[in-house]
Structure 1
Amino acid sequence: MLPTPSILTGAQPRSAQAPATTHWRSPLGWIALALVLIASAEASRWFTIGDQSMSALWPPAGIFIGATAALGYRALLVMTPVFFIWLLWLDGSPPVLAALAATGQCLGAATGAFLMRRFWRLGQKKGPFSELIALYTRAALAGGLVTSLFGAVGYRLGSPVAAAATLHDTVFVYLAFEALGIILFAPLTYSLLSNPRYFFQQIRLDWMRRMPWIWLALTSGLILLALLVHGLNESSYATAIGFAFFPLLCWFILQTRPPSGLVAIPVFVGVFLGLSLNGMGGLPHIITLPDLIRSLLLVGGLAVMCQVLSAITTERTRLIQGFQEQARTDFLTGLRNDRAFTEDLRAALDERTHSDRAPDWLVYLRVLEADRIEELLGFEASHALERQLAARLMGTTGPRAMPARIADATFVLLMPAESTAVLYRQLESLYTDFDGSVLEPGGHQTQIRVTVGAAPLDGNLEDPIHYLSAATQAAHQAEQHSPRIHIIENTRTLISERHATTQQIERLKSALTEDRLELFAQRIQPFSPQDTGLHYEILVRLRERDGELVSPGGFLPVAETFGFMGEIDQWVIRTTLRTLAANPEWLASTAKCAINLAGTSLSNPELVAFIDQELRVAGVPAAKISFEITETEQIGNRSAAVAQVRAMRELGCSVSLDDFGTGLATFDYLRSFELDFVKIDGIFVRDLLANHQDQSMVRAICEVARSMGLRTIAEFVEGEDLIEALRQLGVDYGQGFGIARPAPIHELFEQPAA
């Protein structure tokens, strides 16, 4: 299929383009074309001077070239004999003139159409102005010249009046009529025959607005006014009014779609010439052939100016549409970007309010560890990976899902589903297509892992941003599942959860600002009678403004999720050290004070310097302080964390590994980190007396720890029998409600040891 010319088709979008042949498979189409050709030729009789046979407005010239360009050369097989018959029987032309004129019209149309098609084939990225110049030079001039040569020879042979004129004068006059007909009617014919449905749809959309009707009323009123003034012998005023048609036409072209302009320009020329030929409306009266030539040059110039204005409008529209498309398109993958998807999502939500069908689902798909892939493969390969993912997503879901890329390796789409079960099967299919697949961006093989979340567009949330947030949250929760798929079935529940989370965040912020955190402590009991010092772990609580005490489960999960743990840990370290410094008797009785460190704190490069400074300010011996670390994904840089632990031990502090036995890489942590204590997770302690496997695990942990010079602390210790069992297995310390419950730190030192 040839590139679609914007001038001749009215800059129709690619979705509206259709091969012209699809509209002309029925004989009725060809019959209609023949009838239109005959009707236009008959209508041209209205634009002749007296007994002159030449018409001032010659639509067949443009119809021949436009139809040939749109339908191919086979259109000439229909139009040429029909035109010959019209010349011979209806127009009464001599056989020689009819034969040469029909032959010339056929060859001229073939030449013009061939040159235009060649221009489109070789100049796919030409603009409207280039196409307009091609129309004038290739179709109107070259094609019209071929037709004029044959027509002029036919006139000289078939008409005694024409024989008296020179050949070149006849050719020139004939060419003027041909060129004007091509300029006016070739674009109109091509656009109409290429896609009739689109052509009439655009005109219908224009006339559904108020502006064209206002223009029609003004134009009709102007014509009547010009006729009235001319009837009153006020010719100068009538002429001024008559020439006001042109700015009105320009206004119409600027305000309407290109197909409407393609119709309006020939209508304007026809009205202008009709009034001039009849000496009406104050326009120059055409009496002689020279008058006609002058009027043709005038009206032809006005028509060209209108077409130039149309070209400017088309180019402007094309640029604006291009900029709008760029603003909505992801530059890397060609999918929608976040801005476009948000607009489409808003439209889908608006449509949802007027529909009773089941809501669509917003699906969020993210490639895990995308940043590491970029670090390993580099930008070019990472970008190639994104393009491959986008192509696969488009191939899997299709354009109706409106897939979009909203961030690095992050995609969203809409998915209809009648029920959650149906949706889950669809998500499983999508997940299977992506997760575990091996792609080769830039020649590098990489296996990807994805997480998929979905939220319904159920109308419960305020705007598209909140739905995107809900789908994002679902994808984060999916990371804890296998397969990594999670569906939020009701966003109303999400709203209440989000509201509660917001309240917790604000409560935590205010508590930190108003210093409403409090230190608690839980005693750790040595199982060896030789260890007589006081061991305890520092815990933290939050005091509400009304005095209510909030347990760690009420604020620490939110603090971990939203990045407050570093600030809380620093508060605990500073407050603990200064509290011990302010109470020398507490400090003197302390053998080990254990303080928990979150993974985010351990990743802070300033942590050790902060601890060192606070130890110096408080004057607390570093040997009395122990820091507990936990196996967690929040430790972003493992080697940096190892260095932090080593630096803390160099200060004189000891380090414990908390929750040993249930973490991510338990024994690897023992090998990597320089530790002093290992805290055995309560999952192995709680049912120790009745579970032989737990006993074996605890015994094995103690043996490994002892071989590495580490001491062990058992958590969740409850009851004297359990304490004795742990002592027999080789555990060094115990901690739990059976030994002491958490209490405000001052109570720990006020109560005697159990």
Structure 2
Amino acid sequence: MMTLFRQLVLRVAITGIIGALILLPLSGYLLSERLQQQQIEQAQEHFNWIKQQLDNQWRDQQKYDLLALARLPDTISPLASVRLTAPSSTQQVDIADSYSVPTFVAASGLFDLKDFRASLQHQQNGQTILVATSNTSKFYWQWWQRLTGVAAILAIWMVVSFVCVLVGIRGHLSVLSKIAKTAQDLSHLKFSSPLPLPKSGELRRLGQAINTMSSKLRFEVEGYNKQVDGLKHALLTDQVSSLPNRAYIVERIDSWLKEADGGVLVLINMSFLDEVRLKYGFAARDDIVSKFAAHIRALDSSLLGFLAARISADEFLIVVAGDAVEDPVAALQQRAQQAYEDSNVGLSSSYGLGVVPKDLQRNAEEILAQADTALMTAMQSPDHIHWYQQPDEAPMFRQQWREALLSGIEQGKFRFNSNPVIDQGGDRIQLDLDISLEINGKPMLESDLMPYLKMLRLTTEFEQSKIRAATQLVLQYTPVVFGLPQQTVEDPSFISWLQQLLRHQQYHFQFEVTERLVLTNPSAVKSLRSELKNLGYKLGVNRFGVHLADLDYVSWLRPDYVKLDPAFVATPQSEMQLQMCRTMFNTLQTLNIALYLDDVPNDEVLSQFSSMPYNGFKRRGEQMEILLPEVKQVNR
């Protein structure tokens, strides 16, 4: 695409050429008119001189000798030839040489041949006729020389003017380029120093408007961020450890359990803290708590699957998401042991870690109860740690699962149940899918199959078969949403396959990733976002708000929409919690990102958000089954 600078340069060049094409013929015409007049005047003057010389000859010699005058005129004479015709003789002299000019100039007919006649009457010779012909080649030559000089002057003038215009254009465009870059940065909420104001009036006013808009937008965004930070700290943060409190993390355990990825829940009891308080005071206890929390935050910054909170005076609750959980759990035990040794309370008190692996069939109450059970065992154990359950599948059982999953994926017998996301007017925006696959004759939910798919490395094959089956759905205008797990987003072969499928035909599809995946692998998600956008498909982020401290990603990822984590709408919220939601919603509205409320339980909860700028919501439990038109075998 041609840049503005090149367009302006091209226009200036074309304008200059057109001007030259107009000025040059006009100059040639005016010059020819002037030389035509000079031709007549000079030829007449020269003719009169010759006639006078011949009259003088007759008085002195009583005869005419035209040849004697031939050497008198110079070679630039306006006369080409002179002929003297008497009754008894004729004399002719060619006075001037011809001049070399281009053929098209000589053939242009700008100058006509002029003949000058005069009669000389003398008694002895009778009537003598003097005829002179004008020298047109001289004037053609003069016209061509002067026209080429005018053309050279015009060319020099055009080059100088062109250079001056280019310098001026480049100067103005450099200012416009800075303004455009600043405006683009503002669209991504990136703020820089104010623009230097240009000298020209229009650009100066534009620069002032950009600077004013930037300062106002920065003020509003900083105000939103301060409100979010302040409300988050006041509502959801423990003052001593600066970790989230019980209210924050308990609400998010249900959301974590619904995610397909693995993980563990760790409940840490540091009962020795009460003895530290009794022996050394609150300050000493708070110092140990603060140091231990700092170690947890260090793990949180290196492992984005962490969610940590202080849920009581001597208990910490940590959620470790993902498959690699042994090293984080070992690091937590090491930090707890170090805190215990630093307390100097002897053997009268202890500590323990209760670890519960994630089970997709549990709810928050069950997994917390099992963590308490594991913790009680850990407090009596010399190892200070107890795993409530460690899955250990037999090789034959694993092979059976592989065969059953491969058969189900090969047949592609999926069932799609939808839960619509609707706007406040009741119109459907998109359809969230609950997907099940027939395994050994029984339908099993995708969430129940995911641990086995990951263990057997069949996630990519499952997702490909599922999306192929969805291409057979009878859809009208409402798009369906597919959540992409981490394994597929990080798999180049799956991304390439998805590009080929979506490029071949346009489907009513949209795609989602979890907020944790955005924070864990931002480069892969950003690449996916770019590819889907180029193909005309939307990408959203679900579980939005789980990691309140890391919401800056919305400014660089710019998802088409986000779905608020169900923990925010699980129960009626306090006024301060609603104020925090309102601030987040306003920030998303500023970025032009749609926001949907996910899993709203009832109208009472929904009414609390009525004054906030959300775009749609999904009710809990409202499902509409979508059947395939006919079940076909889907080849991998």
TM-score, normalised by the number of residues in structure 1: 0.31
Higher helix share: 1
Computing the radius of gyration from Cα coordinates, the structure with the larger value is 2
Higher RCO, Cα 8 Å, sep 6+: 2
Bigger share in strand: 2
TM-score (norm 2): 0.37
